[in-house]
């Protein structure tokens, strides 16, 4: 199981690598509007990287329901705790 | 009776009176449905029968399919095959002259508009079945509301596309009283939409038709350049004008439809263009085609994105029509978006380093030019005409006309009116696009309301072109 803070930190590293941007700092309320590279063209690739990193699987509806990074962190916390 | 015509407003007036006299929610829904079927019957009885039958079929099918909690994938494929096959078959029959009562009289296409809005409500029915199958929503229980969601007269013609569930939610809370807010926002939006259509788009119609449909219209690169740009501007003012009227009309009944445009001429990339242009259609394609495909193939990383983009815009092209010109239009956007995806990191890095105003000054014209280029195919009657225009566009030796633009235009217009309409139309279009944000955000309550509405009405009456403005370009889809 990973703590919420640890997940947020590792997600920040994943986002930075995925979008080649070392200035990204994630918070619970961060949305796609806050990160220029994060849009519908890059969303699924990003989700795939996160799935591979945590060795988890998101359902399609789950991925579309994430409104911000906080939702993503909660989903990862639940899946890694199981 | 077209959206925005005098009989249309008479229908609204009568419907509004009966709607607000009644306090009963069910009766209000029946009134809206009756008005919608009267509106559709103006186009053809086939329109009324088709929208009613397709709605009833989808309403009861979802109820039947989910019985026992077992809406199987096979059942979903069956109903959506019927939905899509009906759309394609009916369009094909119309193309073959099955019913040629109503045709476009001013060029662009000979496609009849006998079955009103079928392209739009088919998308809604397909989405409804997928949502019920995926258990995102329970099946609807209100048949009147379901038919109304598909046939609602304010939007049946050309959208905006909206989930049936989202529309029906609003039917449960229709307003009892005619509020000042609904009146002000509704009338303002109708007036702005009418100005876009009748004062601006209509002034460009003759020149656009001349440039695309007349053999003398596009004889040198400059005229093809003007053709692509003018058609894009005309399409925007025509289509977004309709959407404004649809949103304003719905608002009078307390129903809020989704926005379909958000200042697309300010886009700095093609993906941004599609987030600002025909928003509800692209949201539908993103939700029901692009994302499911990108999700299924996501382990293939960027390849998945590229395949999903290609499939989405290919289907979008087919939805617009079965012609080769639509397919090439789709291919243009597939190419643009694939290039954008592959170069995303580089363009983002450039954007970060560049002053935002300078970046917009460079990339907005490039984006608009790419869209205009694709519209040469979208608007052309056939492929040979489109390819001739492309050839002429890149024939740089013959780029500029030997005579002045006005003289050249006169050959097509044979009177001063055409030249005036073009210049005045372009001037008003630029004026509107510059102040677009401010105009759309001017919600006039209180003491300035009368002055603002009077100003909009005077502009419409004094400057509107009322001859032959009976059709909207997107009606054929």
B-chain CB neighbours of A43 within 8 Å are 294
How far is it, in rounded angstroms, from Cα B408 to Cα B387?
A: 22
A-chain CB neighbours of B340 within 8 Å are 41
* Token pair belonging to B48: 């009324």
> Residue B409 — very low, low, confident or very high, per pLDDT cuts 50/70/90?
low
* Token pair belonging to B82: 């019927």
* A81 touches B at CB < 8 Å: no
A-chain CB neighbours of B304 within 8 Å are 44-45
Tens digit of each residue's pLDDT (9 = 90 or more) over B165-192: 999 999 999 998 999 889 989 999 999 9
For residue B258, the 8-state DSSP code is P
For residue B139, the 8-state DSSP code is P
Identify the residue among A17, A44, A62 best suited for mutation to test binding to B, counting B beta carbons within 10 A and taking the highest: A44
How far is it, in rounded angstroms, from Cα B256 to Cα B254?
A: 7
pLDDT at B447: 72
A-chain CB neighbours of B294 within 8 Å are 43-44
Of all residues in chain A, the one with the smallest CA distance to B136 is A61
For B:230-249, CB contacts with A below 8 A are none
ipTM above 0.85, yes or no: yes
* Token pair belonging to B466: 């009322």
Min mean pLDDT across B8-22, B168-182, B375-389, B454-468 is at B454-468
Question: Which comes out higher in pLDDT, residue B367 or B422?
Answer: B367
* A32 touches B at CB < 8 Å: no
pLDDT at B306 over 80: yes
How far is it, in rounded angstroms, from Cα A4 to Cα B417?
A: 69
How far is it, in rounded angstroms, from Cα B30 to Cα A39?
A: 42
Phi/psi for B273 (5° steps) reads -55, -45
> In this structure, are residues A75 and A62 in contact, taking their beta carbons and an 8 Å threshold?
yes
How far is it, in rounded angstroms, from Cα B191 to Cα B197?
A: 10
How far is it, in rounded angstroms, from Cα B466 to Cα B198?
A: 7
Length of chain B: 477
B304 preceded by a cis bond (ω within 30 of 0): no
pLDDT at B446 over 70: no
B305–chain A nearest CA distance, Å: 6
For residue B196, the 8-state DSSP code is I
The pLDDT > 70 percentage for chain B reads: 89
Tens digit of each residue's pLDDT (9 = 90 or more) over B93-147: 766 655 443 333 333 444 445 688 999 999 999 999 999 999 999 999 999 999 9
A30–chain B nearest CA distance, Å: 19
B-chain CB neighbours of A21 within 8 Å are 348
Q: Is B298–A48 a contact, with Cβ atoms under 8 angstroms apart?
A: yes
B170-174 contacts, C-beta under 8 A, 24 or more apart? B170/B254, B170/B255, B170/B256, B171/B25, B171/B29, B171/B142, B171/B145, B171/B255, B172/B25, B173/B254, B174/B25, B174/B28, B174/B29, B174/B253, B174/B254, B174/B255
* Token pair belonging to B293: 């495909």
The pLDDT > 90 percentage for chain A reads: 79
A-chain CB neighbours of B301 within 8 Å are 45, 48
Q: Is B302–A48 a contact, with Cβ atoms under 8 angstroms apart?
A: no
Q: Is B291–A42 a contact, with Cβ atoms under 8 angstroms apart?
A: no
Of all residues in chain B, the one with the smallest CA distance to A52 is B299
Instruction: Give residues with Cβ within 8 angstroms of B448, minimum separation 6.
Output: none
Reported as type and span, the H/E element at residue B217 is none
B-chain CB neighbours of A44 within 8 Å are 291, 294-295, 298, 304-305, 308
Question: Which comes out higher in pLDDT, residue B88 or B133?
Answer: B133
Q: At what angle do helices B25-43 and B45-66 cross, to 10 degrees?
A: 130
DSSP string, B322-338: SSHHHHHHHHHHHHHHH
Phi/psi for B72 (5° steps) reads -80, 165
User: Pseudo-torsion of CA B225, B226, B229, B231, nearest 10°?
Assistant: -120
Tens digit of each residue's pLDDT (9 = 90 or more) over A10-44: 999 999 999 988 989 999 999 999 998 899 989 99
> In this structure, are residues B165 and B191 in contact, taking their beta carbons and an 8 Å threshold?
no
For residue B141, the 8-state DSSP code is -
Q: At what angle do helices B180-194 and B449-463 cross, to 10 degrees?
A: 20
How far is it, in rounded angstroms, from Cα B386 to Cα B391?
A: 9
CA distances from B286 to A62, B43, B102, B290 (A): 16, 31, 33, 5
Of all residues in chain A, the one with the smallest CA distance to B307 is A41
A25–chain B nearest CA distance, Å: 16
A12–chain B nearest CA distance, Å: 18
pLDDT at B414 over 60: no
> In this structure, are residues B250 and B154 in contact, taking their beta carbons and an 8 Å threshold?
yes
pLDDT at B105: 34
Using CB atoms, which residue from B295, B337, B352 is nearest to A44? Answer: B295
* A40 touches B at CB < 8 Å: yes
Question: What is the pLDDT of chain B when averaged over all its residues?
Answer: 88
* Token pair belonging to B223: 């005229």
Identify the residue among B294, B300, B312 best suited for mutation to test binding to A, counting A beta carbons within 10 A and taking the highest: B294
pLDDT at B405: 66
pTM, rounded to two decimals: 0.90
B298–chain A nearest CA distance, Å: 6
How far is it, in rounded angstroms, from Cα A18 to Cα B86?
A: 44
Length of chain A: 82
pLDDT at B432 over 50: yes
Q: Is B294–A44 a contact, with Cβ atoms under 8 angstroms apart?
A: yes
Question: Which comes out higher in pLDDT, residue B325 or B213?
Answer: B325
Tens digit of each residue's pLDDT (9 = 90 or more) over B225-275: 999 999 999 999 999 999 999 999 999 999 999 999 999 999 999 999 999
Q: At what angle do helices B356-379 and B383-393 cross, to 10 degrees?
A: 140
* B435 touches A at CB < 8 Å: no
DSSP string, A48-75: HHHHHHHT----HHHHHH--SHHHHHHH
């Amino acid at each position: 199981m990973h703590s919420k803070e640890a997940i947020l930190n590792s997600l920040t590293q994943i986002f930075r690598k995925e979008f080649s941007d070392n200035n990204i700092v994630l918070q619970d309320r961060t949305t796609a509007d806050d990160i220029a590279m994060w849009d519908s063209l890059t969303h699924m690739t990003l989700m795939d990287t996160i799935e591979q990193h945590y060795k988890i699987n998101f359902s399609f509806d789950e991925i579309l329901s994430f409104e911000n990074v906080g939702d993503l962190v909660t989903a990862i916390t639940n899946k890694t705790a199981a | 009776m077209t959206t925005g015509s005098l009989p249309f407003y008479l229908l609204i007036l009568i419907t509004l009176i009966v709607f607000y006299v009644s306090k009963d929610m069910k009766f209000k829904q029946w009134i809206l449905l009756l008005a919608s079927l009267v509106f559709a019957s103006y186009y053809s009885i086939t329109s009324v029968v088709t929208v009613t039958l397709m709605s009833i079929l989808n309403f009861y099918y979802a109820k039947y399919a989910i019985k026992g909690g077992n809406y199987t994938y096979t059942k979903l494929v069956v109903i959506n095959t019927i939905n899509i096959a009906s759309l394609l078959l009916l369009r094909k029959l119309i193309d073959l002259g099955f019913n040629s009562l109503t045709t476009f009289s001013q060029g662009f296409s000979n496609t009849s508009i006998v079955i009103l809005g079928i392209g739009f409500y088919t998308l809604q029915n397909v989405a409804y079945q997928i949502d019920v199958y995926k258990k995102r929503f329970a099946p609807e229980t209100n048949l009147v509301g379901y038919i109304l969601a598909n046939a609602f007269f304010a939007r049946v013609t050309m959208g905006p596309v909206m989930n049936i569930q989202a529309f029906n939610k609003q039917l449960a809370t229709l307003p009892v009283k005619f509020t000042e807010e609904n009146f002000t926002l509704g009338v303002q939006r109708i007036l702005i939409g009418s100005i876009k259509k009748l004062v601006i788009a209509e002034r460009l119609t003759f020149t656009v038709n001349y440039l695309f449909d007349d053999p003398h219209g596009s004889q040198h690169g400059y005229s093809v350049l003007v053709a692509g740009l003018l058609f894009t501007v005309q399409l925007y003012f025509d289509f977004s004008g309709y959407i404004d009227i649809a949103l304003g009309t719905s608002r009078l009944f307390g129903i809020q439809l989704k926005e379909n445009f958000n200042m697309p001429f300010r886009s700095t990339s093609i993906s941004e263009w599609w987030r600002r242009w025909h928003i509800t259609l692209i949201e539908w394609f993103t939700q029901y085609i692009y994302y499911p495909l990108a999700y299924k193939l996501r382990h293939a990383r960027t390849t998945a994105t590229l395949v999903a983009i290609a499939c989405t815009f290919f289907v979008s092209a087919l939805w617009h029509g079965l012609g080769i010109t639509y397919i090439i239009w789709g291919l243009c956007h597939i190419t643009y978006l694939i290039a954008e995806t592959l170069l995303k990191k580089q363009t983002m890095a450039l954007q970060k380093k560049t002053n935002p105003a300078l970046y917009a000054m460079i990339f907005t014209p490039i984006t608009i030019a790419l869209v205009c280029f694709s519209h040469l195919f979208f608007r052309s009657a056939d492929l040979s005409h489109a390819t001739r225009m492309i050839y002429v566009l890149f024939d740089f030796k013959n780029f500029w006309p030997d005579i002045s633009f006005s003289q050249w235009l006169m050959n097509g217009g044979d009177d001063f009116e055409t030249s005036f309409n073009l210049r005045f139309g372009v001037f008003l279009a630029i004026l509107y696009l510059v102040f677009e944000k401010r105009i759309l955000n001017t919600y006039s309550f209180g003491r300035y309301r009368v002055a603002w509405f009077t100003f909009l009405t005077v502009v419409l009456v004094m400057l509107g072109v009322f001859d032959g403005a009976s059709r909207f370009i997107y009606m054929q889809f």
